[in-house]
Chains A and B, each alone.
Chain A
Amino acid sequence: MPNRLLDVQGLETHFKTQEGVVHAVNGVSFAMEEGETLGIVGESGCGKSVTVLSMLRLIPSPPGKIVAGKALFHGDDLLKMMSEEIRHVRGAQISMIFQDPMTSLNPVLTIGKQLAEPLILHMNMTQEQARDRSVELLEMVGIPNAVERLKDYPHQYSGGMRQRVMIAMALSCNPQILIADEPTTALDVTIQAQIIELIKRLRDELGMAIIWITHDLGVIAGIAQRVVVMYGGYIVEEAYVKELYANPQHPYTIGLLGSLPRLDETQHQRLYSINGLPPVLYQKPSVCPFAPRCKWAMDSCWRENPMLEPFTPDHRVACWVDPKTGKRR
């Protein structure tokens, strides 16, 4: 079997805090193929960002620590690479865009300087080549008057334009994987729509794989092919996007989908609300992390944490309950 593009196995990350060790990611495994778009969905604190940051070894350590797992990129473990090697992967082969485009750009360097940096570093370009390529990149992401705008500083760009610059920068070295960590959360809806359309177009043109991290199930529905749902540092459900929305199996996924007001709602229904709060895990849970909020929780849920198991060949779920009957499947 050829090596997969990305294969994450049993990833575990802890953070040392004053209150104790927070178990942010507790054994996450997923894989992705070339050109695929994978959505990672969950609420704040569920470990979705920490998962990808750990994979790229971008967790500040201390307080963070990757305690177990592998992240195989074309068969090579990113977690075991020398810092020189992983630097070559980051930015060139796997690149990332963040939620807040203002804080991820350097305010005292021009956009041109910042765009040229990875090109010179990773692609061994000269200043002139890098400048020409920067102009191309800005045009590719739809920034008008690109030659002039290279001389501008980040504060002279609007929020949507800055996110376009971030995308241009992330794509500058033709990465195989683009990680988008809530890239549209800070933006207005009309600008969000622009950015999503842009990324979809670039994906079709350039063929990179995308990991799209978000809390917004609406955005994911429109862009991802496959989705993993995270809760309490675990993957609780994984399926192709249509299957997940049509036939959710985990009570948390069902709750999340039911708690969303929909724009195409025809009659007024009371929203389904999940009681309680997402957990902060000071120890690795020995029971199902969702049990305290689950309306179907059974005795076994309080004794043992269900493993992520295939429900159908393409649909995995970490729950014993059949949501149709509310009983054990």
Chain B
Amino acid sequence: MSKEILLKVDNLVKHFPIYRGVFQRQVGAVRAVDGVTFDVYRGETLGLVGESGCGKSTTGRTILQLYRPTSGSVNFDGQDLVALKGEELRQMRRKMQMIFQDPYASLNPRMTVGEIIGEPLMVHNVASGKEIKERITHLLDIVSLSSAFANRYPHEFSGGQRQRIGVARALALQPEFIVCDEPISALDVSIQAQVINLLEDLQKQFNLTYLFIAHDLSVVRHISDRVAVMYLGVLVELADRDTMYNNPLHPYTQALLSAVPIPDPLAEERRQRTVLEGDVPSPVNPPSGCRFRTRCPLAYSYCAEAQPDWREVQPGHFVACHSVSDTGILDKKEVM
């Protein structure tokens, strides 16, 4: 089965400059995303996980050209988004949408729900007048909200309902690709499942492709086909879901997985936990060589010298670690 590549991200870099002093000279940069390469296939969900500040949201926004990348390319459906400008880029935006983390901040409090959902239709001139109204009713129906809600304001809704409004807005232009940036982390546990199920249903119904950004590895395992793990601006591992969770190769992925609590006391008792020492270093001044080496239980002297290559060690299984052999075996013997 050959899968069609919808999105090709190649060596994407996004640095945010830091200015200081009277003359506002650039004194450094936050290296939020520092060379990220991956593909997204049409119709799949790629989960992107990592801890806060690792650059996963910036990656999502840079792909959509909400931030212009410092370097690298983003190829969407055969077109290089980085090279596009003005009207051409605006036309492409119809195909790519975003669902945000905070349903309280991402909806304009002074617009009605109908105006919020209808705005993209008007901006892109795809519908007018009565047709817009029909589309709004239809969109509200898709996300299981009553069409009577169209005249109400966001503050009248709960977090879960607001997130549905955000989903309806993202669907308004019938996009092919949606970046879901932590869409459920602001919601209560019992509401999270409602939104996850909704996103899954919509994906089937409209053949959507998701880049699902989250810090919750259990949720990502549930919703993703493939999973990418990010650490301090770089990808450390990418594999299909079951491989990633059953046979993680990168020491960071292993530690991350072992840190996630499982809601089952018996499973918790049996678990062997690798607790990482220390904190994530600053992306302004990342460690030399492998960025994970300061917390890595397997790090050896060479790790400080060279950044490990991003390579495919098994079909579809990418990893960046000096301790992983070319055939995909983590060599623990080198630990001194």
| Residues of A participating in the B interface, judged by any CB pair closer than 8 Å | 43-44, 158-161, 188-194, 196-197, 215-222, 241-242, 245-246, 255-265, 268, 270-275, 277-278
**CB-contact partner of A218 in B257, B260, B266, B279, under 8 A:** B260
**CB-contact partner of A189 in B222, B223, B260, B265, under 8 A:** B260
Closest chain B residue to A276, Cβ basis? B190
Q: Are A259 and B189 in contact (CB under 8 A)?
A: yes
Digitize B173-200: 1 where CB-to-A-CB distance is under 8 Å, 0 elsewhere.
Answer: 0000000000000001111111011001
Q: How far is the CB of B17 from chain A (nearest CB, A)?
A: 23
Contact of A221 with B276 at beta-carbon distance under 8 Å, contacts A192-B259, A261-B221, A263-B217 already known: no
Digitize B211-234: 1 where CB-to-A-CB distance is under 8 Å, 0 elsewhere.
Answer: 000010111011100000000000
Counting CB contacts under 8 A, is B51 at the interface? yes
Bound CA–CA A215/B262 (angstroms): 13
Chain B's interface size range is 35 or more
Bound CA–CA A241/B264 (angstroms): 9
Inter-chain contacts of B265 with A (CB < 8 A): 221-222, 241-242, 245
Give the residue among B193, B218, B223 with the most A Cβ atoms within 10 A. Answer: B193
Q: Are B261 and A216 in contact (CB under 8 A)?
A: yes
Q: How far is the CB of A160 from chain B (nearest CB, A)?
A: 6
| Residues of B participating in the A interface, judged by any CB pair closer than 8 Å | 51-52, 158, 160, 188-194, 196-197, 200, 215, 217-219, 221-223, 245, 255-268, 273, 275-277, 279-280
Contact of A160 with B160 at beta-carbon distance under 8 Å, contacts A192-B259, A219-B261, A278-B188 already known: no
What are 28 pairs between A and B in contact, CB < 8 Å? A188-B51, A188-B215, A188-B280, A189-B51, A189-B217, A192-B259, A193-B258, A193-B259, A215-B188, A217-B263, A221-B264, A241-B265, A242-B265, A255-B190, A256-B189, A256-B190, A257-B263, A258-B193, A259-B190, A260-B189, A260-B263, A262-B263, A263-B221, A263-B245, A273-B197, A274-B190, A275-B194, A277-B191
Closest chain A residue to B258, Cβ basis? A193
Inter-chain contacts of A194 with B (CB < 8 A): 275-277
Bound CA–CA A215/B192 (angstroms): 12
Contact of A215 with B51 at beta-carbon distance under 8 Å, contacts A194-B276, A221-B265 already known: no
In the A-B complex, the 10 residue pairs with the smallest Cβ-Cβ separation, listed nearest first, are: A218-B261, A261-B222, A259-B193, A193-B259, A188-B51, A273-B193, A222-B268, A271-B193, A217-B263, A274-B190
Give the residue among B196, B222, B257, B276 with the most A Cβ atoms within 10 A. Answer: B222
Give the residue among A196, A221, A261 with the most B Cβ atoms within 10 A. Answer: A261
Inter-chain contacts of A192 with B (CB < 8 A): 259, 261
Contact of A221 with B51 at beta-carbon distance under 8 Å, contacts A242-B266, A274-B193 already known: no
Contact of A160 with B279 at beta-carbon distance under 8 Å, contacts A245-B264, A260-B263, A263-B221 already known: yes
Bound CA–CA A245/B218 (angstroms): 18
**CB-contact partner of B259 in A190, A265, A271, under 8 A:** A190
Bound CA–CA A220/B264 (angstroms): 9
Bound CA–CA A272/B263 (angstroms): 15
Contact of A271 with B222 at beta-carbon distance under 8 Å, contacts A221-B264, A221-B268 already known: yes
Bound CA–CA A22/B321 (angstroms): 55
Closest chain A residue to B201, Cβ basis? A270
**CB-contact partner of B255 in A190, A241, A268, A273, under 8 A:** A190
Q: Are B259 and A215 in contact (CB under 8 A)?
A: no
Inter-chain contacts of B260 with A (CB < 8 A): 189, 218, 263
Inter-chain contacts of B194 with A (CB < 8 A): 273-275
Q: How far is the CB of A165 from chain B (nearest CB, A)?
A: 14
Inter-chain contacts of B223 with A (CB < 8 A): 261
Inter-chain contacts of B266 with A (CB < 8 A): 242, 245-246
Q: Are A263 and B273 in contact (CB under 8 A)?
A: no
Q: How far is the CB of B44 from chain A (nearest CB, A)?
A: 14
